[in-house]
């Protein structure tokens, strides 16, 4: 059965779309069938990460009852299915999100994962994502405001019916500095498990500006390896370490992410 996972954040700027796109590719490369849908209707960015700058059909066409949902799918070279939202603000007018959950299940019934790239915060768009999902993955930075907003999101989730299941937190842009909130402090504050942590990596911005993804262009980067580990944990698929990764695992310091 398909798992519909909302990639969620209580605040903007934490790197939610970076996580959604690279995690989607990592799951796809583990032989999972994956789709990503842009649920940020007012400021959508998902398509830009995949190099889609001009496309005639979007999720908004479906939301205005102009087209079937399956007609909005674009196929990425990786095999990933991508549904972009419109970059034009006027296209959010007269949209109906009431049947999104059922339609996603109908169209992607034979997929393993559908990732929803949610709008940040707790506004109407974010609630649409929560209501359409089965599970929630929070993306946070090791900063107090980011964690406070996760706790707020959890309170909202507890009021929903059906209630999506919070899977845990992906800590993004971890610098391992003494002034950062520690992983254990994040666990204690949110009472959620940490699914993985992505280190600060300049190659993410480098690849973004080249209209590609770090996981496809810089596969040996620290960020790429983190995404593969997170995908491994989500999918139950064994992560294949390289020879040097095995050496570091045996003789290096303990991996606190696990």
Rounded to whole angstroms, the Cα distance separating 1 from 104 reads: 12
Give pLDDT, residue 209.
81
What CATH class is the domain 3-251? alpha beta
Q: What pLDDT digit, counting tens, does each position of 39-74 carry?
A: 999 999 999 999 888 789 999 999 999 999 999 999
According to the model, what pLDDT value does residue 254 have?
43
Q: How many CA atoms lie within 13 A of 150 on its CB side?
A: 30
What are the tens digits of pLDDT across the range 83-100?
999 999 888 888 999 999
Q: What is the pLDDT of residue 245?
A: 55
pLDDT value of residue 40: 94
| Cα distance between residue 59 and residue 40, in whole Å | 10
Q: What tokens were used for 47?
A: 């398509």
Name the stretches of the chain with pLDDT < 70: 239-258
- The predicted pLDDT at position 54 comes to 79
Q: What is the separation, in whole angstroms, between the first and last Cα of the chain?
A: 26
pLDDT reported for residue 58: 95
Instruction: Give the strand pairing for 3-8 and 113-118.
Output: parallel
* Alpha carbons 190 and 188: distance in angstroms, whole number: 6
Distance between CA 192 and CA 117 in Å, rounded?
20
């Amino acid at each position: 059965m398909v798992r519909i996972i909302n990639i969620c954040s209580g605040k903007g700027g934490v790197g939610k779309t970076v996580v959604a796109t690279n995690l989607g590719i990592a799951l796809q490369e583990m032989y999972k069938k994956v789709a990503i849908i842009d649920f940020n209707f007012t400021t959508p960015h998902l398509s830009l990460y995949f190099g889609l700058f001009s496309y005639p059909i979007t999720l908004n066409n479906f939301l205005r009852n102009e087209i079937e949902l399956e007609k909005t799918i674009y196929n990425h070279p990786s095999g990933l299915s991508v549904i972009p939202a419109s970059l034009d603000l006027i296209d959010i007018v007269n949209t109906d999100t009431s049947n999104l959950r059922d339609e996603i299940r109908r169209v992607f019934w034979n997929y393993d994962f559908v990732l929803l790239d949610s709008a940040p915060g707790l506004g109407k768009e974010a609630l649409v994502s929560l209501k359409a999902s089965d599970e929630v993955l929070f993306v946070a930075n090791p900063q107090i405001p980011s964690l406070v907003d996760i706790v707020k999101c959890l309170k909202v989730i507890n009021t929903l019916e059906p209630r999506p299941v919070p899977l845990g937190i992906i800590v993004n842009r971890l610098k391992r500095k003494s002034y950062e909130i520690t992983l254990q402090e994040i666990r204690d504050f949110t009472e959620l498990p940490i699914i993985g942590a992505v280190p600060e990596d300049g190659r993410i911005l480098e690849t973004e500006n080249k209209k590609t993804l770090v996981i496809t262009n810089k596969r040996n980067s620290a960020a790429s390896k983190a995404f593969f580990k997170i995908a491994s944990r989500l999918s139950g698929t064994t992560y294949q370490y390289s020879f040097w990764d095995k050496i570091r695992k045996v003789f290096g310091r303990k991996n606190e992410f696990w």
